Chain A
Amino acid sequence: MDDFTDLLSFALIIFMLGFFTVWIFHTDTADKSDQALGKLDSFHGQEDLLQLISAPAVLENKNVQMKDVILSAVNSNNADLFSQKMQEYFDQQALEGGIAVYDSVAYGAEEEPEPLFSFDNVAFLGKEKGAVYLTNINSDGKLKSIVVKLFG
């Protein structure tokens, strides 16, 4: 009788061990796949940001890049120019989300800094896709960086 109980216990332990192993591996694989997809998504988000700042734009019938538009808007404090060009770009690229521009000093010092300019075409901005620093020779002739953040 004892031998039979031991055998039964052993079989039960082996079964449980197998069950837990399969369960752990399955969960682990699903987690890792999610992590990899998350990283891939984040990478594409960063690419979207790099594409946005280097995208061609037109100012006064001349070709410039979106970086120029952003810096120009910051230096001349022209929120309308910023919104108009971003609206055009988001429509053209069928992007959903938003973009915000911060002063780099405030961005580094404050927990929730107020953006200099922002634009969005959705009710909720979504998560941050990426951020890039741009060095700016501002209107008073000094170097001052800005931070451009893309959401979506």
Chain B
Amino acid sequence: MKSKKGTIFHWIGIAVIFALGFAVLSPTEFGVKPKGDWQLSFLQYNYVEGEKQLADTDQLALQIGRKTVLSLASKGGFSETPSCGSIGGVNNWNKGQDFCFLNVDGNVNTEFNSIYKKYDKEAASFTVSRQGKELIGKSDTKVSLGSGMEQYVLNSGFRANLGYDFDEYFLLQDQAKKMVNECKSAPQLQDCLEKVKPAYWKFGSCDNEQFEEKAGKIIFCIESPGKYAVFEKGTFVPVKYKVGLDFGMN
């Protein structure tokens, strides 16, 4: 009778071949995993994608912000017609002795969101504030990237440097108040204004200055005292304010 004690080794051999076959064909990953693999994937597919979206949002906000600057300037800083009324589509800053309160922050916020909605009707509303020459937008909407354990959530806000300071409105309103106070009872309104108004305040139009009075009301085009210009359609457009002042004391 032949001894079968050695057959165990043959079975081991067969088992090893099966094990190797399983290791090669199995979808399970064997072996060591390099350090930082998960972290790199997370950075690549979540953080970098998030930064790209923020860069895009910032750029769109910058373009909208520039349009906001020009649009508000053409309306004397008011997003809607003020209670002081308007002359020929130009908003008045005062009605007799009373100046209409120019809420710069509120108007910037309203105008920015109004223009933004024109381009993207489904866009979230932003709460826009100013910090020097920058516009900062905050929204309740969150951007969520990834899924499950690998989730990256960020605020969909923006920060855009307009290279323009809305505080110019305060300087111009102070100058307007001074002009109205000094010239309201002047017999020769034009002569008085010529003496009082700064050179960047132009009668009627910035390109073709012409004095024109209608019942004590005068339209001004004001060149930006800080010589601000915003980048629009591939060129720098100078900021020009259109404002109506009422010198009639009725």
Contact = CB atoms under 8 A, between A and B. Distances in A.
| A and B assemble together | yes
A79 interface: no
Interface in B24-42: 30-37, 40-41
A35 B235 CA distance: 46
A50 B32 contact: no
Contacts of A24: 23, 30-31
A76 B234 contact: yes
B67 to A, nearest CB: 8
A76 to B, nearest CB: 4
Contact of A2 (B3, B34, B163): B3
Interface residues of B, number: 42
Interface residues of B: mostly helix, strand, loop or mixed?
Answer: helix
Contacts, number: 113
Contact of B120 (A25, A40, A143): A143
A43 B6 CA distance: 57
Interface string A11-47: 0010011001000110011001101100110110011
A116 interface: no
Interface string B57-89: 001101110010000000000000000000000
B43 A43 contact: yes
Contacts of A2: 3, 6
Nearest to A26: B31
B12 A62 contact: no
Given A9-B9, A43-B40, A137-B63, A32 B55 contact: no
B116 to A, nearest CB: 11
A50 B55 contact: yes
B51 interface: yes
Contacts of A28: 30-32
B51 A135 contact: no
Contacts of A32: 31-34, 37
A14 to B, nearest CB: 9
Given A35-B37, A40-B36, 13 more contacts: A3-B6, A9-B10, A10-B9, A36-B34, A42-B44, A43-B43, A50-B55, A59-B231, A60-B236, A62-B229, A68-B59, A73-B234, A133-B52
27 contacts: A3-B5, A3-B6, A9-B9, A9-B13, A13-B9, A24-B23, A24-B31, A25-B32, A28-B32, A33-B34, A36-B37, A39-B44, A43-B48, A50-B55, A53-B55, A59-B231, A62-B231, A71-B63, A72-B231, A75-B234, A76-B234, A132-B56, A134-B59, A135-B60, A137-B63, A137-B64, A143-B119
Question: Which 10 A/B pairs are nearest by Cβ-Cβ distance?
Answer: A28-B31, A6-B6, A36-B34, A76-B234, A32-B34, A39-B40, A72-B234, A6-B9, A46-B48, A135-B60
Interface of B: 3, 5-6, 9-10, 12-13, 16, 20, 23, 30-37, 40-41, 43-44, 48, 51-52, 55-56, 59-60, 62-64, 67, 119-120, 163, 229, 231, 233-236
